[in-house]
Structure 1
Amino acid sequence: MKHWLLVLFLSILLLPCFKASATQSSILILATDTCDYEYITAVSNAYGFKPSTAGLENFTEALRSLEWSHVILVDPNYGSSKAELAGAVAKATVDYAVSGGRVVTTFNGFMMLYPVLQQETPLRIIVYDSPLKPGVPSSYNVSKYKALLLFGEGVEEHGGIYYLHVGKGLIIVVPLNIAWAYCDTHDPYYLELLLKSLTAPPWEPGGSQVKYSIALPVIAVLASAVAVSQLSLPRTRRPQGLVVLPPARLKLEADEALAHPARREIMRALEARGAVTMSELLRLLNMPKATLSWHLYVLESRGIISSFKWRKSLFYFASGPTGVESLASRLSREDPYFCIAAKSLLEDPDPVRVSEALNLPTESITRLAKLLEKEREAVLEHCG
């Protein structure tokens, strides 16, 4: 009898452990690129999760199992060729939530779900640029710098995270792209956001639609104020406040930026090849374009590399005189007008007059004039 009591006592003590293990192993995550998998690995290592992962191609099939405690859309990234597949995944995910499932999604994931969600419940969203957007190079996929304001029937906000009730289930929305933010900074804050979403209590509908909660910079509220004022909503449906959670923590020192293996690989390619275009880097590194553009942005924003657009081609090179020399060396070989334009600017510093005289794009000549101001000797080294 005593033995049975001991077994029962130990079972009660160990039950939470078994339950936690089952919960962790019953999480299904949609991942579509290397950054997603890096994020998932970091979360798994930090919190002991053992999730199942699936891509767009097999996510709908995996979703048919009813064993999942949570379904997570990390930062789904897909091109136009997979738009139809993404639509099918969105439909299956919303159906899963309607039937009683719990879905956690980030900005990208929500935008994928939004067209389907509109058929289930009336929602209004504001997509706004984060404060970082002014520094984003034109080549970068700026959707990674978007954040979201969400309000409507059945929407609750708690601590900067939205809770949307659909059918019998719940969709939990982190209104920015946390996987990309983590890939840039390795800041555990972005891991904690996912953990916070997974451990949230089952909020019951019926509270205020959107409460005042300025989670991060006020500048994002101001940037959104005009958009809010233009919404054609009945007065009773107008939001009572704004939830702001832009990726304002995206700060990384130069030496930390080079800690990422993909960025070290990019630097090795630039050191070996000199100035190269995006398409050349894609062939050399065999890296998804969205992933490559993100890492190029990180390196350029920290001053490690520079970019220069000449005519229709955008070149990347290591910052400093050596990198500029590699750019000038290549362009002087491939386009004689590059050196002609450089010499013309020495005689007449007006980019507009020089561009008209040579029939070249004014933007290219203006960029060349700025390059000459900073690295005159490096440019003229290869132009005689």
Structure 2
Amino acid sequence: MARSKPNIFWIIGAQIVSVVGDAFGQRCSRVDHKSSRKHMMISFPIISSLQIFLILLILEYSLPQSIVGAIYRDSNKIQCYKEIDIEGKDIHCTDQTCTKIKCPRGGPIEMFRSLKHYPMLFLNGVQNWFYYSAEVILYREPLGLLFLVLASLASSFLIEPVNKIFGSPASTQNIPGYLIFLGIFGSIICIVEKKISNKKKNSNQLKEDESKFLLENEFDDEKNSNSEKESILKKLFLPFAILSFTYSVWFVSQTYFNNNCRINAFTYTSVDQVLLPFYLYPFMFLMDYVSPFKKCFYDGSDKIETLIGALLPTWKESSIFNLFVYRLLINGRAFIYYYLAILYDINLVYLQLTLIRIVFSWVGSLILCLLVPKFIATTKAEKDQTFSLFNIILKITGSIIVVVSLILLNEKS
């Protein structure tokens, strides 16, 4: 069986990379592309595809084969055989019945052989359609970083059911229910915020505003309650629900593809990112001509501008540096996640990743607002919300609860 408890420093490192990468993602979306979902979805896939193809191609042929070709199952390197790993035969091999070989080097070139023998890998593109569409929607929201994490938190409840759907081995860790509750309770306290009013209102209205706790940042005070509710459902609920599900599917599917398609992180990342433009661009083209999709994913000028018409404006406003760093960090995070998923107990790892990410996300947002507010075009209303003493006390309290749950979780596992 897989080792149950990962090194906590790998998880912390992955989440530091995650928070910085998400910050660059918000800069690309909010500053470079002026919160245009369509422009953001045009720019990053091609940069990510070229980046991963070139970097992993170099690593595929420069790193020792023992590293770039290693395939793990239950924390142990597996033996590769010519009949399975080169010829793609669906047979059971032993050292006596098949020809032992060194495992093929993983990467963008090996990706094509893997896709040929295991067409199910193309299903990875389907989840990318929904994942990136929802992610781009949240990146343009003021507290997008925290809502990305909230979806991650919600998806922790789905890991075990999705794991069973994929037919993967059950969790080896029996995590006490009170620790899960403690961690989630602390996480919710970290995310919940008190609405800060920035306009002069009568005392009754102020009292009413101060009693509201929201999971969304400042809404337009001039909107009536009906339009505000509609805005919440449109901007938050759909991408939140999509991300909650796709997070769990993405994390579990890595283990499934690793065990059933005999690939490693080098090949999986190639499948996931090199083919990204071929998944997303046809999907975006479809959204231009299907009204329900267009209304759901686009607003403002994005509804009017066609995909073809948006190409030139997108590249004129894009910052290649910001896009490159954003995708490099996010892909690096995914690379670490892959090995954490296949080497350790998936339920324990995912819960630890999520809890730590929640604490790091609000701290990262605070640092951005304090030191470099222009980095993601932070508004005065967003600053007031972030630096509210009540909100900071809430987040510190929640973080303490999360840390306590992590310490107890580490001792119990």
TM-score norm. by structure 2 comes to: 0.20
Bigger strand share: 1
Bigger helix share: 2
Of structures 1 and 2, the one with the larger relative CO (CA 8 A, separation 6+) is: 2
